[in-house]
Amino acid sequence: MSKQKRPNPVLATLKSNGGKVVLGVITLLMLFSAFSVVKTVPAGHVGVITHFGKVQNEILGEGIHSVLPFRTRIVKLNVRIQKIEADATASSKDLQTVTSKVALNFFLSKEKANVIYQDLGMDYQHTIIQPTIQESIKSATARYNAEQLITSRPKVKEDVYNYIKKRLAKSNIIVTDFSIVDFKFSPKFNEAIEKKQIAEQRALTAKNDLSRIKTEAEQAREKAKGEAEAQLELAKAQAKAQELLRQSVNGEIIQLKAIEKWNGILPVSMGEKGSGGFFDITTVGKKR
């Protein structure tokens, strides 16, 4: 009768425990891989891929993406329109200190997100945008005197906007809007401006008063002229009337004097001088 070989209890134990260990390791690796390879890029962002820290050319859009575990990292960049406000201090052409508050709207180029991350990192606002704003404000302000900064504000804004837009475009940052919220000057300058405005207002008032006085004087002259012409015409009319009256009165006086001198005897014959025709007035009205 052959003798059966009995299994080694130690090896059996190792095999049993080893299988559990291997199964546990495999399970852990599967779980780790499952959580590592699935990445999400949220709305309004893009994903920049790095392999062991090296930026790749591929850019991931919004949504879920599978990446290789361990070596791949996704950096999420915001490509929505963003707003930044900044204070800037500069000197005008006439050496007045000017403090301005500006607002800038911009967004990152999706197509160049990997270049932006590689060149500027995540802190691009402080790396490039803030310095560009300060530089543009100083450059534009130095071309105008303080008063022009107030009166030519739209032109100053246009100069600064064009400078920032051109400068940031080189870094793949697109500027959509820019505004100068406020210009502030020193108290002494503000006082001088106020005094000048008061003086100009007074000068304008005086000019308007002078113009009004001239207009009123001209109106008075025209009125006097009209009245004088009216008086002259009235005088002429009165003189003419008096002349007619005089002529009429003279004729009546002559007739009256002739009557006063008449002796009451009618002439026998009457006729026009040189006419040669005489007639006996005693026969007028008698039948022949």
Distances in whole angstroms, Cα of residue 245 to Cα of each of 232, 250, 255, 257, 288: 19, 8, 15, 18, 46
Is residue 39 very low, low, confident or very high in pLDDT (cuts 50, 70, 90)? Answer: confident
- 8 A C-beta contact, residue 95 and residue 135: no
| Closest residue by Cα to residue 45 from 76, 83, 81, 75 | 76
Q: Is residue 41 a contact partner of residue 76, using CB atoms and an 8 Å limit?
A: yes
Q: Look at residue 16 and tell me whether its pLDDT is greater than 50.
A: yes
Q: What fold is seen in the domain 82-185? A: Tetrahydropterin Synthase; Chain A (3.30.479)
For residue 47, the model assigns a pLDDT of 92
Q: Which DSSP symbol is given to 61?
A: -
Q: How confident is the model at residue 38 (pLDDT cuts 50, 70, 90)?
A: confident
96 neighbors 186 (Cβ within 8 angstroms)? yes
**132-146, 148-162, 163-177, 232-246: least confidently modelled range:** 232-246
Cα 30 to Cα 27: distance, rounded to the nearest angstrom: 5
Contact between residue 145 and residue 209 where contact means Cβ atoms under 8 Å apart = no
Number of alpha carbons in the 13 Å side-chain half-sphere of residue 13: 3
Given a cut of 50, is residue 14 above it in pLDDT?
no
Look at residue 12 in the predicted model and tell me its pLDDT.
Answer: 55
Given a cut of 90, whether residue 232 has pLDDT beyond it is no
Task: For residue range 169-218, list pLDDT tens digits in order.
Answer: 999 999 999 998 877 877 777 566 656 655 666 676 777 877 878 888 88
> CA-CA distance, 217 to 213, in Å (whole number)?
6
Q: Is the pLDDT of residue 98 over 90?
A: no
**The pLDDT value given to residue 100:** 87
Question: Considering the chain, what is the average pLDDT of its residues?
Answer: 78
Statement: residue 6 has pLDDT above 90: no
Q: Where are the beta strands (DSSP E) in the chain?
A: 38-41, 45-51, 54-60, 63-66, 72-78, 82-91, 97-108, 173-184, 269-270, 279-280
User: Residue 178: its pLDDT value, please?
Assistant: 92
Instruction: Let me know: does 113 contact 77? Beta carbons within 8 Å.
Output: yes
Query: What's residue 34's pLDDT?
Result: 58
Backbone angles phi, psi at 200, to 5 degrees: -65, -35
Report the pLDDT value the prediction gives residue 46, as an integer from 0 to 100: 95
* Residue that the structure tokens 């990997």 belong to: 114
Quick one: average pLDDT of 211-235?
Answer: 82
Average pLDDT over residues 92-111: 90
- Short-list 100, 148, 114, 134, CA closest to 46: 114
- 271 burial (CB, 10 Å; 0-12 / 13-18 / 19+) is exposed
Q: Where along the chain do its domains lie?
A: 22-78, 82-185, 193-258
Please count the residues of the chain.
288
User: How do residues 257-274 score in pLDDT, each as one tens digit?
Assistant: 666 666 666 665 555 555
